[in-house]
Structure 1
Amino acid sequence: MNKRAVAVLFGGNSSEHEISRLSAASVLSHIPRDRYEVVMVGITKDGRWFYYPGPVDAIENGDWEKNPGNRPAYLSPDMAAGGLVIREETGECILPIDVVFPVLHGKNGEDGTIQGLLSLAGIPFVGCSCAAAALTMDKIYTNMALESAGIPQAKWTWCRTFDYKKDPEAVFEKVEKALGYPVFVKPANAGSSVGVGKAVDRAALARCIEAAAACDERILFEEAIVGKEVECAVLGNEEPVAATVGEIVPCNEFYDYEAKYQSESELHIPARLAKETIEEIRRLAVEAFLALGCEGMARVDFFVREADGAILLNEPNTIPGFTSISMYPKLFEAAGLPYPELLSRLIELGLERACR
């Protein structure tokens, strides 16, 4: 049986570069090598691409960049190329690629940019289309789409960074009138809670806006929900399925970047919820997945409000973490789909979509 050539992209010019390395090392350690020929492509923080022939265990700490076998490489938008262009001392050669698995978090990875390049190149890839990736990466547009689809979520509003700099008082008043305190402040386009803050008064709101404004030109404000934070993993193309629901008990005040990746938050699989609530979350996760045009995979995050048990969608993540502590693979493993089989299914879904 001929093995499919799978290019795994990792690193990237993003604030989540380090997390991408951790996720990619985990993916590369579990991908079924009897079925797939794996090609590793590392992208440095300053955006340089390299074909990497070294050991997987050098990826997590960044030592892969020192490998003497690294060769500059790139994906050509020319469909005739059909693979990874590698620069050797004697010239360029093309390594054919059947499918790409972009294990890239945050900007330039899950925002539609790499998906657009792969679409131009005519190379199948794992995960959402360019349009769905761009939509789900932008929290403001995501909220608009979910609101249009009638999917319940927290109350929210937004502003441009330009608006805040021009008239801070007007933004303060807008947020206070619409949401009150406490309120969450988020950059529209940043993943893994980068730049996210919780404001309990106007002084804190100003600090949170400044932090969010450093990450993006548009800022989202959401009411603070008191309740459980839960996540649901979705897999598929036209007929997606949801795994069980997992619950997070953050080690910090809320599930910020540190709580996700640098500390030990408490996880419960399945979530400590009534069976009926879990089934409704699974249903809403699939509904949101389809409403946003997702394909392949997504982790859909929810709140279950303490006061009345209301289920409110928080946000989707179309390239969820694949580290050793990440919820997405853990949820499907709990549902009876082992990590290697999950990866194989994702790869086949990418190839299946390209054949449509």
Structure 2
Amino acid sequence: MKTKLGLLYGGKSAEHKVSLQTALAVINALDHEKFEIHPIFIMETGEWIKGPLLDGPVETVAALQFSRGEALPPTALAPTLFQAENKNESFDIIFPLLHGPNGEDGTVQGLLELLNLPYVGNGVLASSAGMDKVIMKNIFAQAGLPQVNYVWFIRSEWEQDNNSAYEKVEAELGYPCFVKPANLGSSVGISKCSNREELVEAFKEAFQFDRKIIIEEGVIAREVELGVLGNDNPECSVAGEIIPKVEFYDYKAKYEDGDTALVIPADITKDEYELLYGLAIKAFKSLDCSGLVRADFFLTKDGKAYINEVNTMPGFTPFSMFPLLWKHTGVEYPQLIERLVKLGMERFDEKQKIKYTI
């Protein structure tokens, strides 16, 4: 029997296009003899469209974007949306290939929990906490994980007294610093600031993408990442290093120009790797993660490590850091997808043991 796999992709997010590329890569990597693949496209406006059963690879993302005439708002989801071709059967598991808000942040995970459907990846808590960089960093601080200094603001606070916001950044962090939307990934809306003028423009840019922003102290360090895979007993991949050819690893460098080099495995010592491994597992467990995360670190010349963030649905094409890390660890892309599906089913089965009646 084939595994009936529902793929959720697109999404009402600034990372919509990234999600489409992820979906295309996953569909073409899956073994169509093992999986019955059902695409569910979420438009940028929020409507959901269930596409036809896929019986083979797809050439372009255009083939995964279905007609608006078939769309439904999430509030009017048809009972058949999460059913397989046989209307009496639901999907075996859902794979949310969604990056950013309205997909990676616990909202879709909450819907799937209410429907009691198995799904791949992190649950509601880990997804929502991992999406909000402020909440994530506060949890990491409570867990005793080393981090660079940071401050954060909501839009109304900044609008009422922007000079005080700028002064707080300068007093507590100084320059250079990085301004980021709190709830976004793929380096969207991020700016590096070296003076007040750049800081002002960075606040304006970041607040276009979120009502909350975070500002982090700049450090002179290497950017090293590990992939984490598992549920209650996670394990780490080899380490990889990002070496941007531009000033920092922004959206354009990631997805448009290719102005970056990924070095896998990273040239680090055994002690440095073991340090990062321990911190990555601690971060994974502190957020109660499951399935997968990519843990991102700053590593200084004197061997100090600071956790930057974890990404609960990292870039997932064959050329993205997370799959490449696991490829160099011995897990090829199709195997990685199948392993994640298995982990999602195992977590679902484990949660069915919970008693809900007294």
Query: Given the two structures, how large is their TM-score scaled by the length of structure 1?
Result: 0.91
The answer to whether the 8 Å contact 2:226/2:240 transfers is yes
Cα displacement string for residues 189-214 of structure 1 (whole angstroms, at most 9, x for unaligned residues): 11111111111111111100011111
Match of 1:240 in 2: 234
Contact kept? 2:83, 2:91, Cα under 8 Å:
no
| RMSD of Structure 2 on Structure 1 (CA) | 2.4
Question: Does structure 1 conserve the Cα–Cα contact (< 8 Å) formed by 2:151 and 2:169?
Answer: yes
Superposed, which structure 2 residues align to 1:1-356 within 5 Å?
2-53=1-52, 56-60=57-61, 62-65=62-65, 71-72=70-71, 84=82, 96-264=90-258, 265-306=260-301, 308-356=302-350
Q: Which amino acid in the other structure matches residue 253 of structure 1?
A: E
Partner of 2:354: none
**Does the Cα contact within 8 Å between 1:153 and 1:313 map onto a contact in 2?**
yes
Q: Deviations over 1:19-66 (max 9, x none)?
A: 101111111111232322111111111122112236753542x34335
One-letter amino acid matched to 1:320: P
Residue 58 of structure 2 aligns with an amino acid whose one-letter code is D
What secondary structure sits across from 1:26 in the alignment? helix
More strand by share: 1
Give the match's secondary structure for 1:231: strand
Q: How far, CA to CA, are the matches of 2:3 and 2:72 in structure 1?
A: 20
Deviations 1:152-195 (A, max 9, x none): 11111111111111001111111111101111011111111111
Deviation at 1:276, TM superposition (A): 1.6
Q: Which moved more, 1:193-202 or 1:24-33?
A: 24-33
CA distance in 2, matches of 1:76, 1:332: 38
1:275 deviates by 2.0
Query: Partner of 2:65: helix, strand, or coil?
Result: helix
Asked whether the 8 Å contact 2:223–2:298 carries over to 1, the reply is: yes
Structure 1, unmatched stretches of 5+, are none
Alignment CA distance shift 1:72-1:59 (3 Å): farther
The SS at the match of 1:337 is coil
- Sequence identity of aligned pairs in percent? 39
Quote the Cα distance in structure 2 between the aligned partners of 1:243 and 1:106.
24
Query: Match of 2:271, as an amino acid?
Result: E
Change in 2 beyond 3 A, CA 1:217/1:66: closer
Contact 1:73 1:85 in 2 (8 A): no
The letter of the residue matching 2:298 is F
Distance across 2 between alignment mates of 1:82 and 1:63: 22
Q: How far apart, in 2, do the equivalents of 1:257 and 1:99 lie?
A: 31
AA partner of residue 272 (structure 2)? T
Amino acid at match of 1:267: L
Deviation at 1:249, TM superposition (A): 0.7
The alignment covers a number of residue pairs equal to 346
How much does 1:67 deviate?
6.5
Judged with a 3 Å threshold, the aligned counterparts in structure 2 of structure 1 residues 67 and 242 are, in CA distance, closer, same or farther, namely: same
- Pairwise CA distance, 1:218: 1.1
Equivalent residues of 1:82, 1:122 under 8 A apart:
no
Tell me the distance in 2 between the aligned counterparts of 1:51 and 1:74. 12
Which piece of structure 1 moves more, 199-208 or 49-58?
49-58
Partner Cα distance (1:345, 1:209) in 2: 41
Deviations 1:301-356 (A, max 9, x none): 111123x2211111110111112320111111111111111111100111111111
CA contact (8 A) 2:181 2:190 kept: yes
> Is the 1:13–1:46 Cα contact (8 Å) retained in structure 2?
yes
Change (3 A) 1:207 1:76: closer
SS in 2 for 1:57: coil
